[in-house]
Chain A
């Protein structure tokens, strides 16, 4: 859109008016003072509080939006701003020229630069205003009892829960480093309750939609009288104002100075560059004075270092809920397995490992670094058992296969890293073939090892990394697991093995 400034107020201008400019070209955007007598629209208030939306996200006529701005109840910000000569996307923080392009724009009549990186949330270009709320915050009415959940926490969980609560109350940052199977969700409940009781707005953000879908009913059950907004691409709660929000990290891009506390789940799940932009989104979405809780099973090296040198407040939950130690991965050299596969063979020790599982009826997950190699291994292994399956990210039958594995219909599932996190099977062994591949980072390997020994009836499981040259990442992964077990013993969180 084009605007002109009249009496220190931004007024929409036509494409033919030579005095008007696309919003990004206006040096500074005036903010009219709040008119206390203006009858503001409550729907607009609920929709916009703590948000940064595009006009097309707002199902209300532009004239009404504009009059809220003129009366000081709405803010306009530039969708794209410039740092010197460099464009920056205000919503996602993109500065990388690869992620910008331009087009002849019929809205402003100019060649308009747009951001490609956050385009799935609606296109932001040089003539796009980001619209936010500047009026009073909607009031929330609290139920007499906020939290209904009455489960018990393990010792390790309890310590973390207390630290999370304090951090939320005091607007601090805190990292919860909880091993796979520690039960991290329950650790949040006390802190969430404290925030809600103080009428704070709180958000749990996680990279994956599956996790949003899984967490939503659990939180609704724990806080039955609290309104919960569950946000992911295409979700119906998009416009719902709620004290408790569960969202994919992408959805944070629609928020601006919204939350008194953000809980950021699985911070380890992203490659560094993606992590950077999500950090930007999280910083935008939280209020300047707010709490930030990070959850992870495997913090990256930088964060680990910060933890051990006292630069980052953190709590570990080094033991699983069932009080048994984490299975420690074994390393086994398997020679040039890729070359073997080209000749339609598997290294003998890999084949032995798999055969032993099939013969003793123990289910197993076998990870491969790449789809083509996995597909080469499948027919070889099907000679042992024709019901062996393989699965990868784009497999249309992915869900069914995981379900079949759960119901023990599949003895052995070959997989790429898509099953490295989230999915749990109660009683399995785990192998990685080609653990030296760059795709198997420390964090991926720890997550993979974390698939074994999950249930209290079967707390043991074998984890083997087959490799053609031991890597730094493998060593770090094993070290991290050993370290957690040692700490579990030290803090008395593990039962003695008889």
Chain B
């Protein structure tokens, strides 16, 4: 928007020192949005991880692991009702204290512009996934009004992708307090808005945080049943 905007960190407002060096001379530097201190506090998910949900295996107890799956995914996959719907989840960063704070500011305080922090990382991952359709996890009408925007759509829009609002919520969001079995046996949370041909399409679901995976699996199931060839998901944090 404003040229001077680029000189301050979107998160902490500190001045960003320009990158001077051969890289800056020979390449078109991409716009720097956050300072190095803030970027340094984002922890990439790396190393060995769960084949489905990308939970890092580092620092987790052996008993929560079943081969190349984490215990959670193993249990989902052994259930014939849920087997194979969510092909793969990608998460960009560990949900550490710093990211918690940023996501809270972004989503609950409503500081929309913070979505831009993730755009470059998101683009990079989406170029690898190469989906046909980008589906944000929806909010209920009440929640959407309350927040003013859907965080998942915001992440997509700011990264330059057009979100497809294929889903809507039938039940409220307040499910985090429910037990696992309640979540699994909950009737479908979403409903499909059938105005698009899904047959043979590769879908990516987008959300801010991967917590239990149950939201994404409910959505994946619905989309697969509606004809999607594959459903993967991408979240900022897990």
A residues with a Cβ closer than 8 A to B are 56, 97-98, 101-107, 112, 114, 116, 119-120, 122-123, 125
A120 touches B154 (CB 8 A): no
Q: Provide 25 A-B residue pairs closer than 8 Å at the C-beta atoms, listed in order of the A residue.
A: A56-B146, A97-B1, A97-B4, A97-B5, A98-B4, A101-B1, A103-B112, A103-B154, A104-B149, A104-B157, A105-B149, A106-B145, A106-B148, A107-B148, A116-B111, A116-B113, A119-B105, A119-B109, A119-B110, A119-B111, A120-B109, A122-B109, A123-B109, A123-B110, A123-B111
How far apart are the CA atoms of A102 and B154 in the complex, in Å?
A: 12
With contact pairs A98-B4, A103-B154 given, residues A112 and B111 touching in the complex (Cβ less than 8 Å): no
Nearest chain B CB to A291 CB, angstrom units:
34
Q: Is B71 among interface residues, defined by CB-CB distance under 8 A?
A: no
A125 touches B2 (CB 8 A): no
Chain A residue numbers with a CB within 8 Å of B5 are 97-98
* B149 CB contact (under 8 Å) in A97, A106, A116, A119: A106
How far apart are the CA atoms of A106 and B138 in the complex, in Å?
A: 13
Q: Is B170 among interface residues, defined by CB-CB distance under 8 A?
A: no
In the A-B complex, list the 9 residue pairs whose CB atoms are closest, starting with the nearest: A103-B112, A101-B113, A123-B110, A106-B144, A119-B109, A105-B148, A97-B2, A107-B148, A119-B111
Q: Is B83 among interface residues, defined by CB-CB distance under 8 A?
A: no
CB closest residue in chain A, given B109: A119
* B112 CB contact (under 8 Å) in A97, A107, A114, A120: A114
Chain A residue numbers with a CB within 8 Å of B4 are 97-98
Within 8 A of A (CB), among B72-103: none
How far apart are the CA atoms of A103 and B154 in the complex, in Å?
A: 9
How far apart are the CA atoms of A139 and B4 in the complex, in Å?
A: 51
How far apart are the CA atoms of A97 and B1 in the complex, in Å?
A: 10
CB closest residue in chain B, given A105: B148
With contact pairs A98-B5, A103-B154, A106-B145 given, residues A114 and B13 touching in the complex (Cβ less than 8 Å): no
Q: Is B65 among interface residues, defined by CB-CB distance under 8 A?
A: no
How far apart are the CA atoms of A102 and B111 in the complex, in Å?
A: 9
CB closest residue in chain A, given B5: A98
How far apart are the CA atoms of A97 and B154 in the complex, in Å?
A: 21
Chain A residue numbers with a CB within 8 Å of B112 are 101-103, 114
B148 touches A103 (CB 8 A): yes
A123 touches B148 (CB 8 A): yes
Chain B residue numbers with a CB within 8 Å of A122 are 109
Nearest chain B CB to A79 CB, angstrom units:
12
Chain A residue numbers with a CB within 8 Å of B111 are 101, 116, 119, 123
Chain B residue numbers with a CB within 8 Å of A103 are 112-113, 148-149, 154
Chain B 1-33, CB-CB to A under 8 Å as 1, else 0, gives 110110010000100000000000000000000
Chain B 138-177, CB-CB to A under 8 Å as 1, else 0, gives 0000001111111000100100000000000000000000
CB closest residue in chain B, given A56: B146
Number of interface residues, chain B, beta carbon within 8 A? 21
CB closest residue in chain A, given B116: A101
How far apart are the CA atoms of A120 and B108 in the complex, in Å?
A: 10
A98 touches B13 (CB 8 A): yes
Chain A residue numbers with a CB within 8 Å of B145 are 106-107
With contact pairs A104-B149, A104-B157, A105-B149 given, residues A114 and B110 touching in the complex (Cβ less than 8 Å): yes
How far apart are the CA atoms of A116 and B114 in the complex, in Å?
A: 11
CB closest residue in chain A, given B7: A98
Chain B residue numbers with a CB within 8 Å of A102 are 112
CB closest residue in chain B, given A98: B8
Chain A residue numbers with a CB within 8 Å of B13 are 98
CB closest residue in chain A, given B115: A103
Chain B residue numbers with a CB within 8 Å of A105 are 148-149
CB closest residue in chain A, given B113: A101
Chain B residue numbers with a CB within 8 Å of A125 are 148
How far apart are the CA atoms of A114 and B111 in the complex, in Å?
A: 8
How far apart are the CA atoms of A94 and B111 in the complex, in Å?
A: 16
Chain A residue numbers with a CB within 8 Å of B110 are 114, 119, 123
Chain A residue numbers with a CB within 8 Å of B150 are 106
How far apart are the CA atoms of A112 and B110 in the complex, in Å?
A: 12
How far apart are the CA atoms of A101 and B13 in the complex, in Å?
A: 13
Chain A residue numbers with a CB within 8 Å of B149 are 103-106
Chain A residue numbers with a CB within 8 Å of B109 are 119-120, 122-123
How far apart are the CA atoms of A37 and B110 in the complex, in Å?
A: 40
Nearest chain B CB to A109 CB, angstrom units:
11
How far apart are the CA atoms of A101 and B158 in the complex, in Å?
A: 13
CB closest residue in chain B, given A124: B110
Chain B residue numbers with a CB within 8 Å of A123 are 109-111, 148
How far apart are the CA atoms of A116 and B105 in the complex, in Å?
A: 10
How far apart are the CA atoms of A66 and B157 in the complex, in Å?
A: 35
How far apart are the CA atoms of A60 and B163 in the complex, in Å?
A: 35
How far apart are the CA atoms of A428 and B28 in the complex, in Å?
A: 56
Nearest chain B CB to A285 CB, angstrom units:
22
How far apart are the CA atoms of A48 and B103 in the complex, in Å?
A: 31
Nearest chain B CB to A61 CB, angstrom units:
14
Chain B residue numbers with a CB within 8 Å of A97 are 1-2, 4-5
Nearest chain B CB to A95 CB, angstrom units:
13
How far apart are the CA atoms of A49 and B223 in the complex, in Å?
A: 51
How far apart are the CA atoms of A98 and B109 in the complex, in Å?
A: 18
How far apart are the CA atoms of A104 and B153 in the complex, in Å?
A: 10
CB closest residue in chain A, given B150: A106
Nearest chain A CB to B159 CB, angstrom units:
14
How far apart are the CA atoms of A116 and B150 in the complex, in Å?
A: 18
Nearest chain A CB to B79 CB, angstrom units:
36
A112 touches B2 (CB 8 A): no
Chain B residue numbers with a CB within 8 Å of A107 are 145, 148
Chain B 38-52, CB-CB to A under 8 Å as 1, else 0, gives 000000000000000
